[in-house]
Amino acid sequence: MVAKKGGSKGGGMGGADDAEEELARTPLQAIVLADSFTTKFRPITLERPKVLLPLVNAPMIDYTLAWLESAGVEEVFVFCSAHSKQVIDYLDNSNWFAQPNFSVTTIESHNAISAGDALRSIYEQHVIRGDFILVSGDTVSNMSLSQALKEHKERRRKDSNAVMTMVIKQSKPSPITRQSRLGTEELFMVIDPESKQLLYYEDRGDNLKGYLSLDKALLTDTSISLQNDKQDCYIDICSPEVLSLFTDNFDYQHLRRDFVKGLLVDDIMGYKIYTHEIHSSYAARIDNYRSYDTISKDIIQRWTYPLVPDVHFFGNSATKLERQGMYRAPEIKQSRSAKIGPFTVIGTGTSIGNNTEISNSVVGEGCSIGSNVTIEGCYIWHNVTIEDGCKLKHSIVCDGVTMKSGAALEPGVVLSFKVVIGRNFLVPAYSKVSLLQQPIKQDSDEELEYADNSSGITEVPSISGTLDELKEEERTELPDSQEYEVGDGGVGFIWLVSEGGQEEEWRHSVAPIPVDKLVGIMQITNDEADISNEDGAFLPPSGELGPDSITNDSNEDGEDTRDDSVIFEREVEATFQRAVEEEVTEDHVILEVNALRLSYNMTSADCAGALFYSVMKLALDAPHDSPIELVKNVATAVKKWKKLLKYYLPSIDEEIEVILKFEEMCLESAKEFSPLFVQVLHHLYDQDIIQEEAILDWASEKEEAEESDKVFVKQSEKFIQWLKEASEEEDED
């Protein structure tokens, strides 16, 4: 198999020492996914790949590459899918290809729509020879990899199944919104405190219940640690097997949802994932607009040192740090009366007019900002023109945008490339404006779902290639006098937010979460808490209602098995009912019942009893007015399902079980049957479902029972007598 080949190639199969030597010899490699496979940065990403978007005036991928270089990575493979040409062009023109001891290779693929596809296609290239770092091209970090790598290799030497080490960092999600400061969903992890092995991973609410349900098998040792205050940095140290695993499991798409969870659930192969927690260094991934905002601020506030604007870590221009977190590039034309507030970055060649106020913002290169403009918490990219009197709050403004005088942006707005906002136009909060029209959600729920899901599957790579055509088409299709929605003289379409998304838009935008949303959500959590409280009260019925005291623990096993058998019976009954309603063939019923039997660990006698019960129930539920009709019902039901019943009655024991079951029914659940006991029994005998031996055994078994138990034996005395005589006669013959 291909997988095997990959494994041995990686050195995992050799002796421990060999493997180590080999690992030591191979240069440290990294895979950078230059495509996030999500749609979170739309509409911007329709025109430019996410990794090339400027983050504090430098493309994201530069941060990633600079970090990898400083961390001692020698070979980097940049995987490009959507807009691959742009990425390759950018890298061609950058210095990255010219670095000593640091080789950057691009891998291009046009049909990859997920991280899984990307890794599969990298696997086919056979370029990865040893342990490698897997990151996406939007990672900002300054962590040192040596410690994590050392741990990873040590574990690998001891256990070749330790295929991956995930980097995590402390970060408590907000108690209200339940998302981290990076705008990602809260994450529940279970980690072995000793070995740091990851045992459980639950991101986003695939489980909205108020409790975390952990398999008891997770607690193999004395303790495990449940963590809700960690953030997944999406920096993975992987063994070569990871690639072959993706190839073997061609349905793995998402790194976390499919791969990590898949490995955790799969206990056959026994692959293990470990975690490495970083404390003082920085690592984060730009996943959505909120993390873009957060990470930009972190960079400005120098948490990511040395990856800060005033350090020459790659092609960025010489920027100087001034007091109050002000970064200024050369050649800025700034009016004396302009106030440039704290924590602001201004790019080269930008001019700023009179009485303009800019605070907590990033302004790119070559922008021209007019007079009396207020800019607060905005990310303004390159060559943007903002005319007099504009007001911008917590927005992203892409390259080449023009805002005519008096225009204003409410919080959370995204203006994509080259949009023009008309005079005095107010762009409503959280709207996204693009020259491209919003693709109609033609295909589907599926895509919608993925997009909502933060999954990572739908970048729609086709758009990249045909983008220009697309633009052309639109241009031609729409007459010049088309009605843009962005005011007088404006150019651009306001994207509608899909209905489900509207609610959540504020969660991931660059703007801080408004108060009323917080209050609203707090109310909801309040209610939830109350609900889960009620839930909680029901949690351990056995504990609360059981007749327990400190001393009696011994009954529990018994109770458990009884519970099991009750559930089993119910399941069988439901299966049978389905079979009746949907006219499923007997063979299928047998298959299903067998599956149930295995999963509940029941004997075939239990199956026989449960099925018999279901059949009788069927007869009982059928309409009938008199006992005679009931007997008829029984007759039809038994006749119909005779084959099924017989299947589970291979020996006398099961038949006795059926009689006992019937007795129990007569006493408890279906008293209607009790006067008809003999008749039904006789019928079962006639139909060869129950043999006479079983009846006789049952009768003799009951002989020693208490009086109350013998009601039915007495009822059937005559019948039994007759049976006995019959058999004796036979013997005589």
Q: Which residues bind other proteins (CB under 8 A)?
A: 171-181, 186, 188, 190, 193, 209-216, 218-219, 221-229, 512-513, 515, 518-519, 522-523, 526, 529-530, 532-533, 536-537, 539-540, 542-554, 556-557, 559-560
Smallest distance, other proteins to C-beta of residue 295, A:
14
Smallest distance, other proteins to C-beta of residue 523, A:
8
Smallest distance, other proteins to C-beta of residue 268, A:
20
Smallest distance, other proteins to C-beta of residue 175, A:
4
CB nearer to other proteins: pick between 226 and 574: 226
CB nearer to other proteins: pick between 229 and 503: 229
CB nearer to other proteins: pick between 214 and 497: 214
Smallest distance, other proteins to C-beta of residue 209, A:
8
238 - beta bridge partners?
132, 164
Smallest distance, other proteins to C-beta of residue 189, A:
10
CB nearer to other proteins: pick between 278 and 638: 278
Smallest distance, other proteins to C-beta of residue 163, A:
25
Smallest distance, other proteins to C-beta of residue 552, A:
7
CB nearer to other proteins: pick between 24 and 515: 515
Rounded CA-CA distance 246/416 in Å is 35
Cβ-proximal residues to 543 (8 Å cutoff; 6+ apart), any chain? none
DSSP SS3 for 164: strand
CB nearer to other proteins: pick between 181 and 272: 181
CB nearer to other proteins: pick between 219 and 574: 219
Rounded CA-CA distance 199/217 in Å is 10
Kindly state the helix (H) or strand (E) to which residue 375 belongs, with its residue range. strand 374-376
Smallest distance, other proteins to C-beta of residue 553, A:
6
CB nearer to other proteins: pick between 178 and 617: 178
CB 681 within 8 A of CB 612: no
CB nearer to other proteins: pick between 181 and 391: 181
Buried b (16+ CB within 10 A) or exposed e, 416-440: bbbbbbbeebebebbbbbbbbebbe
Helix axes 241-248, 2-10, angle to 10 degrees: 170
Kindly state the helix (H) or strand (E) to which residue 167 belongs, with its residue range. strand 162-170
Smallest distance, other proteins to C-beta of residue 132, A:
30
Rounded CA-CA distance 365/74 in Å is 32
Pairing between β-strand 426-427 and β-strand 420-421 as defined by DSSP bridges: unpaired
Smallest distance, other proteins to C-beta of residue 287, A:
15
CB nearer to other proteins: pick between 482 and 526: 526
What is the secondary structure of 538-583 as a DSSP string?
HS-HHHHHS---SS--TTHHHHHHHHHHHHHHHHHHHHHHHHHHHT
CB 381 within 8 A of CB 398: yes
Residue type, 431: S
Length of the chain: 733
Residue 156 to residues 17, 149, 153, 195, 241, Cα–Cα distance (Å): 11, 10, 5, 13, 11
Rounded CA-CA distance 396/293 in Å is 9
CB nearer to other proteins: pick between 532 and 687: 532
Helix axes 499-508, 444-452, angle to 10 degrees: 20
Buried b (16+ CB within 10 A) or exposed e, 539-564: eeeeeeeeeeeeeeeeeeeeeeeeee
**Largest alpha-carbon pair distance within the chain?**
126
CB nearer to other proteins: pick between 72 and 210: 210
Smallest distance, other proteins to C-beta of residue 704, A:
23
